């Protein structure tokens, strides 16, 4: 019997899809609405049934498609500060910059366009685990067995959020970024670190939809420390994204 492979099993049932059209981006907005407005109540409900903000126009969006049903299980975006709008703030700069540990990394000193922020990662409730976890926007654990999905499909559900994280990291690598930021719970960071994504805390903990802090991942840590199984999955996701998009990598004008 062939040994179980996280990457091969995951790619059998799921595929990362770059949201290159208005229609695909709207699918991401619908997932976000379902999670952040309807389920968690973090954003106001509206008649469009889509959750959007001012950062969406300068973000790259990814969806995770369940191949058999065509259902999009989750989404994530990589927000990139536009080079032509130096004053434009990323979500963490707008809401959490007062907590920043500038001795670790100071985003205001980095060239705009040379970094991004993982933001609005959301996984549909039907692809998550237990009833008591309905208030959790992403879960890297087990899932609720009361679904229409087969046991083999559900075996891969715990990797959905990780697949979306790896997609965002891959986008940042494709863009030739110096690094990336994310606001998250310290306990999630400890889990990601064990998986080989060594985010460094660069902000004090604060109450931002729960106790969260700002973290930074340098380019050197995008995939060099991933566990062998997750490196295999990262390479699959990276290749999928390269097949779907053609981005112009960031270059620092001072280097030219």
Residue 253 included in any domain: no
CA dist., res. 186 & res. 191, Å (int): 9
Does residue 32 lie in a domain region? yes
Count CA within 13 A, CB hemisphere, residue 96: 26
Confidence of residue 97 (pLDDT cuts 50, 70, 90): confident
Find the range with the poorest average confidence among 4-8, 73-77, 142-146: 142-146
For 5-15, b where at least 16 C-beta lie within 10 A, e where not — what string?
A: ebbebbbebbb
Residue 246: band (very low, low, confident or very high) from pLDDT cuts 50, 70, 90: confident
Residue 1 has pLDDT above 70, yes or no: no
Q: In this predicted model, what pLDDT tens digit does every residue of 183-236 receive, in sequence order?
A: 999 999 999 999 999 999 999 999 888 889 999 999 999 999 999 999 999 999
In this structure, the dihedral spanned by the alpha carbons of residues 96, 97, 101 and 104, taken in order and rounded to 10 degrees, is 110
Q: What is the domain count for the chain? A: 1
Residue 229 lies in a domain: yes
- pLDDT of 18: 96
What's residue 250's pLDDT? 73
CB contact at 8 A, 237 and 12: no
Contact yes or no for 16/163 (Cβ under 8 A): yes
Q: pLDDT of 18-70, one tens digit each?
A: 999 999 999 999 999 999 999 999 999 999 999 999 999 999 999 999 998 89
Let me know: does 13 contact 159? Beta carbons within 8 Å.
no
Does residue 161 form part of some domain? yes
Assess if residue 1 is contained within a domain.
Answer: no
- Residue 216 pairs in a beta bridge with 181, 200
- CA atoms 165, 179, 203, 36: torsion sign: negative
Is residue 178 very low, low, confident or very high in pLDDT (cuts 50, 70, 90)? very high
Q: pLDDT (tens digit, 9 = 90+) per residue, 151-176?
A: 666 566 668 889 999 999 999 999 99
Q: List CB contacts of 60: < 8 A, sequence separation 6 or more.
A: 18, 19, 77, 78, 80, 171, 175, 245, 247
pLDDT of residue 241: 95
Q: What is the pLDDT of residue 130?
A: 43
Give me the domain span that covers residue 94: 6-245
The pTM for the full model equals 0.86
Q: Is residue 250 part of a domain?
A: no
The pLDDT of residue 145: 41
CATH number reported for the structural domain that contains residue 123 in this entry: 3.40.630.30
Residues 45 and 168: their CA atoms lie apart, in Å, by 27
How many CA within 13 A on the CB side of residue 213?
Answer: 16
The answer to whether residue 252 sits within a structural domain is: no
| Residue listed under structure tokens 């991933």 | 226
Measuring CA to CA, which residue among 36, 25, 120, 9 is closest to residue 63? 25
Task: For residues 157 and 128, give the distance between their C-alpha atoms in angstroms, rounded to a whole number.
Answer: 7
Residue 104 lies in a domain: yes
């Amino acid at each position: 019997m062939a040994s179980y492979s996280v990457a091969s099993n995951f790619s059998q049932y799921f595929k990362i899809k770059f949201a290159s059209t208005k229609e695909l981006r709207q699918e991401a907005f619908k997932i976000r609405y379902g999670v952040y407005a309807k389920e968690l109540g973090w954003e106001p409900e509206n008649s469009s049934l889509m959750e959007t903000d001012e950062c969406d126009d300068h973000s790259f969006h990814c969806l995770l498609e369940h191949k058999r049903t065509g259902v999009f299980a989750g989404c994530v975006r990589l927000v990139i500060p536009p080079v032509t709008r130096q004053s434009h703030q990323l979500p963490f700069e707008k809401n959490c910059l007062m907590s920043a540990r500038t001795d670790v990394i100071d985003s205001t000193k980095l060239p705009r366009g040379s970094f991004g922020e993982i933001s609005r990662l959301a996984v549909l409730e039907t692809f998550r685990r237990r009833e008591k976890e309905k208030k959790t926007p992403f879960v890297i654990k087990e899932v609720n067995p009361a679904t229409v999905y087969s046991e083999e499909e559900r075996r891969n559900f715990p990797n959905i959020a990780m697949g979306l994280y790896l997609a965002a990291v891959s986008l940042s690598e494709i863009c030739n970024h110096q690094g990336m930021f994310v606001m998250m719970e310290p306990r999630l960071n400890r889990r990601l670190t064990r998986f080989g994504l060594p985010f460094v805390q660069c902000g004090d903990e604060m109450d931002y939809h729960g106790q969260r802090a700002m973290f930074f991942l340098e380019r050197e840590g995008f995939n060099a420390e991933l566990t062998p199984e997750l490196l295999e999955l990262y390479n699959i996701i990276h290749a999928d994204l390269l097949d779907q998009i053609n981005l112009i990598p960031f270059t620092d004008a001072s280097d030219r």
